[in-house]
Structure 1
Amino acid sequence: MWNDLVQIGIVLLILFVLMVPMGKYLYIVFGDKESKLDRIFLPFEKVIYRISGIRQIEEMTWKKYAVTLLAINGILGVIAYFVLRFQGGLPLNPAKIENMEPSLIFNTITSFLTNTNLQHYSGESGLSVLSQMLVITMFMFTYAATGLAVCIAFIRGLSSKGRSIGNFYQDWLRAHTRVLIPLSLIVTLTLVALGVPQTLDANVTVQTLEGGKQTIAMGPVASLESIKHLGTNGGGFFGVNSSHPFENPNVFTNIIEILSMWIIPASLPFTYGRMVKNSKQGWVIFGVMLTIFLLLLSLVYSQEKAGNPAFNELGFSHNQGSMEGKEVRFGIPMSALFTSVTTAATTGTVNNMHDTLTPLGGLVPLSLMMLNSVFGGEGVGLMNMLMYAILAVFLSGLMVGRTPEFLGRKIEAKEMKLIVIALLAHPLIILMPSAIALGTTLGTEAISDSGFHGISQVLYEYTSSAANNGSGFEGLGDNTIFWNTTTGLVMLFGRYISMVVLLAVAGSLITKQPVPETLGTFRTDNATFGTILIGTVIIIGALTFFPVLVLGPVAEYLTIR
């Protein structure tokens, strides 16, 4: 056990060393002041602006920011459609992969358009090399940059005084040129040095020990792996994702991939603290995220370490824990940590089969995606946690009979209505389609388990889609018109409703006059508020999702005891 804790502790220690400097770097990248970074990146950015026809960087209202975001996303989606629809006749297709089926195209484009990367296809056999690069890898940059840009705009709405929330073009471009591309180059070269392949050759034919021939799929794996994790994307080059020995060959690549998908979400609270000119605010938000994360990590680790109780009745020894669906090279600790980080950071990459987790072990990734605020994806998690923070301030103000204020801005009915819309949309787009799927043959025919685990499979699929995560309980036969369409719609709603609503909240707050701090001001930068915030997140999550969790993983756990 101590060896396991040391492994997890080392990864946490490295994260703690990196996150504050990274938070400072992001603050410099997206700050309003000129910096030394301009000397390096600005000449390249000016060329891109000129090619794009952008002559002047103007400040945007929240409405213009949102419309620009949606327009760019839509244009890129149309381009991706034609690439996938006609990939069979396009170049860089040495494996002669056929065109995609229409409903699968809709699901795939929506998946990568929304930074979800849910895969209802197998990467090496469903996409050509051109599609992998031009659609999948490109989208992993563009839509991760979208989430990061919106998060920065939202923070500006909380921290700026009567000014604009920024310019989407500038934020989006800087997220590419100054954050994602440089970091991806570093991670790609590191992964190549550790044995991850990077080539344009699609297949390699080798002779087996038995004298036969085997065709091994290849391609630009390392470059996709880097942005897949840094952008909290998750779509694997191969169907089995980061459990594949080419995507994740050893414990060192495993640690790099964990840190890659964790570093930006974990550092954003410190960027937030600097932007609002109160570093304690960042530490409180990070502390809340870390506390909830460690509680759920402890649960999945203990459950997988204890093994499957059903084995005890059969007389089987399982001293190593529940190793079903896990890679021996990672073991229980690195599998449990990977499972927790990938669903906390809404990445969706997997190094073990979540469908084979013990019942309460499987409860953990479900819970992290349902909360969707414990670190979260590229900016989305911080925005959702700040949404909970505003709600906590509002509720606390009601209890003491004081007008609630957050960062010097009064929280009034308009902001609370918008926040309630965002809060209700998330469970609504999970629970409604889950009920439809479980109540119709179109949904139930894809379920591989007729018991409580089957409910978990359906619930996981829609939760993963709504949280823009993309991982799945892969026992579900989901490549059908019904599942492709419904999960595609859930991904769209899950991504853009919250983004637009929170931009509206930022636009409302930025126009308000700051209220001077007094002795009666409810402070949001101390442990008391952190405790209230933890309670708010857990209570709302429990009230919303606990009944359906009882029908799925909890009931399954009770039946095998």
Structure 2
Amino acid sequence: MNTEIAGIVLQIVLMIVIAYPLGKYIAKVYKGEKNLMDFMTPVEKWIYKLSGINPNEEMNWKQFLKALLTLNLFWFIWGMVLLVSQGWLPLNPDGNGPQSPDQAFNTCISFMVNCNLQHYSGESGLTYLTQLFVIMLFQFITAATGMAAMAGIMKAMAAKTTKTIGNFWYFLVRSCTRILLPLSLIVGFILITEGVPMGFDGKMTVPTLEGTEQTVSQGPAAAIIPIKQLGTNGGGYFGVNSSHPLENPTYLTNMVECWSILVIPMAMIFALGFYLKKRKLAFTIFGVMLFAYLVGVGINTYQEMNGNPRIDAMGISQNGGAMEGKEIRLGSGATALWSVTTTVTSNGSVNGMHDSTMPLSGMIEMLNMQINTWFGGVGVGWMNYYTFIIIAVFISGLMVGRTPEFLGKKVEAKEMKIATIVALLHPFVILTGTALSSYLFVHAPQFVAGEGGWLNNPGFHGLSEMLYEYTSSAANNGSGFEGLGDNTFFWNFTCGIVLILSRFIPIIGQVAIAGLLAEKKYIPESAGTLKTDTLTFGVMTFAVIFIVAALSFFPVHALSTIAEHFSL
């Protein structure tokens, strides 16, 4: 077997093997059962006491959402203040200046919603203080927020009839102390042993082979990279993210970082099964997601390892595949795997430039984010799938002439309306943003351009770059086709609006659906009950997701990625 293919297979197998026991552990954490991290209980009690929180106080879904939104608003203000004043604050040995208000708005919103869209370069756009107390802090908070939201939904689903869905603060703190922090320490230790920098010195000057000198940024990278990956955050400590040799120096670090992206989203599906005591349902959901993921990996690996046909036509060897924008130390196969792994989740980190991948690879990367239900961000990925389960249950019920039910609760018009709004919001904000930027590109480019212009590749690929930017923002992903000059007021502001809408409206809708269903009378399962833990229902859900995505996005892909593919 080709060694690159073997590396891909090994990484996928490791993800699945580790995700199952991790999911069982996560279910114990949220249920409050005895687990390995019980020694953190005194620390958690101190946090609750300092914050004036009663972790045993039950919340209804409205109180749960109020706490979630209040937390995010507070930390948004915190981040804005630090980013616009970072040039005058300590831990700034390289003398980096403050961010402009519009850039700080985009950065703050981006990291607050688990997107980590970066309209700046980490080495020059941030200081060590803001890397730690804005970026790293937010990466813990936003990941824990999504996990806490899923924990609340699981609690609502597990109860027969209830008006409460748990305590948001309890789930948030436990997500940090018992899941994200210990896993981050393990990954961080591996990265440090492999040479990822961890310190507070400024840039170092090193001689080059050409006899000149070069300055190399360093700093506390090893503290930030683990949670960037494990929390499906993805913001690069360095400007070129995990293609940087100090952020991802070896093939081992590449495997560990790629594994870290998907292991918790996978584990959360298994946690659902253990929490509800419905493992067959979890296996059905996991199977649909895994199938879609493997199809994407297969397409991208084939496209990238077979190279560019235009270069073949010139008689030039492409033994390494399509290597433009990729790191030789990693190879095209590892980059193809990462490109799918990072886009089926809301991670967005890269170990190669997506702008340089083959057109069909770019299409898969965008479709993963446009569908936005294959594993997704920690917690919220399954919640997006939950929306389509509600739609699929409703449609299936109508097809067989029965009142739609899910886990013993009737799915009625109110839940269906919320699910439909959530499902259609995603394509609406992506396509509206792309249409607006395309119009301005033709009729008023000066309105959106910064210094040196804003779109390096007009034509099919230029449309792909604009489509990718809004797709990445709406999916809370953060990766980009980097031919776009995006650090302008237009892109900072419009992407920021898309980020806010696409993060909080779905969470509000999904928690509301769970809360509304939890309040309903439980209906025992009967011979006529629609089974939602079968292969048939899994195929039905997949079909609903695929049809919505195809109807929404095929036309724009026909004008961008597909057209570019046939032009090669």
TM-score by length of 1: 0.98
Letter matched to residue 110 of structure 2: S
Q: Distance in 1 between matches of 2:275 and 2:62?
A: 22
Alignment of 1:414-433 (within 5 A): 414-433=414-433
What secondary structure is seen at the aligned counterpart in 2 of 1:86? helix
Q: Distance in 1 between matches of 2:563 and 2:54?
A: 60
1:67 aligns with 2:66: yes
Task: Judge conservation of contact 1:156–1:506 (CA < 8 Å) in 2.
Answer: no
Equivalent residue for 2:284?
284
- Offset at 1:451? 0.9
Letter matched to residue 372 of structure 1: N
- Offset at 1:38? 7.0
Equivalent residue for 1:479?
487
Task: Judge conservation of contact 1:29–1:37 (CA < 8 Å) in 2.
Answer: no
Instruction: Give CA deviations for 1:271-312 in whole Å, capped at 9, x if unaligned.
Output: 111122210011000000000111111111111122112223
Letter matched to residue 51 of structure 1: L
Q: Distance in 2 between matches of 1:137 and 1:369?
A: 24
Letter matched to residue 328 of structure 1: I
What secondary structure is seen at the aligned counterpart in 1 of 2:458? coil
- Pair 554,39 (structure 1): closer, same or farther in 2 beyond 3 Å: closer
Alignment of 1:103-502 (within 5 A): 103-163=102-162, 164-440=164-440, 441=445, 442-443=447-448, 445-502=453-510
Letter matched to residue 123 of structure 1: G
Letter matched to residue 535 of structure 1: A
1:548 aligns with 2:556: yes
Letter matched to residue 272 of structure 2: Y
Instruction: Give CA deviations for 1:345-381 in whole Å, capped at 9, x if unaligned.
Output: 1100000000001111111110100011101011111
Instruction: Give CA deviations for 1:19-70 in whole Å, capped at 9, x if unaligned.
Output: 1100001101101x44245741211111111111224531111111111111
Unaligned runs of 5+ in 2: none
Instruction: Give CA deviations for 1:163-198 in whole Å, capped at 9, x if unaligned.
Output: 311111111111111111111111111110111111
Letter matched to residue 403 of structure 1: T
Q: Distance in 1 between matches of 2:55 and 2:506?
A: 29
Task: Judge conservation of contact 2:346–2:377 (CA < 8 Å) in 1.
Answer: yes
Structure 2 residue corresponding to 1:537, chosen from 503, 528, 545: 545
Percent pairwise identity? 47
Equivalent residue for 2:532?
524
Q: Distance in 2 between matches of 1:14 and 1:559?
A: 38
Task: Judge conservation of contact 1:236–1:349 (CA < 8 Å) in 2.
Answer: yes
- Pair 37,250 (structure 1): closer, same or farther in 2 beyond 3 Å: closer
Letter matched to residue 111 of structure 1: S
Q: Distance in 1 between matches of 2:354 and 2:467?
A: 13
Q: Distance in 1 between matches of 2:536 and 2:98?
A: 56
What secondary structure is seen at the aligned counterpart in 1 of 2:215? strand
- Offset at 1:204? 1.4
- Offset at 1:313? 3.3
Q: Distance in 2 between matches of 1:549 and 1:55?
A: 50
Q: Distance in 2 between matches of 1:502 and 1:529?
A: 20
Q: Distance in 1 between matches of 2:300 and 2:69?
A: 37
What secondary structure is seen at the aligned counterpart in 2 of 1:205? strand
Q: Distance in 1 between matches of 2:235 and 2:416?
A: 35
- Pair 38,471 (structure 1): closer, same or farther in 2 beyond 3 Å: closer
Letter matched to residue 119 of structure 1: Q
What secondary structure is seen at the aligned counterpart in 1 of 2:429? helix
Structure 1 vs Structure 2 CA RMSD: 1.3
315-324 or 204-213, which deviates more: 204-213
Q: Distance in 1 between matches of 2:281 and 2:125?
A: 46
TM-score by length of 2: 0.96
Figure out how many residues of one structure are paired with residues of the other and give that number.
559
- Offset at 1:324? 0.7
Q: Distance in 2 between matches of 1:4 and 1:99?
A: 43
Unaligned runs of 5+ in 1: none
Q: Distance in 1 between matches of 2:176 and 2:472?
A: 25
- Offset at 1:527? 1.4
Q: Distance in 2 between matches of 1:329 and 1:213?
A: 24
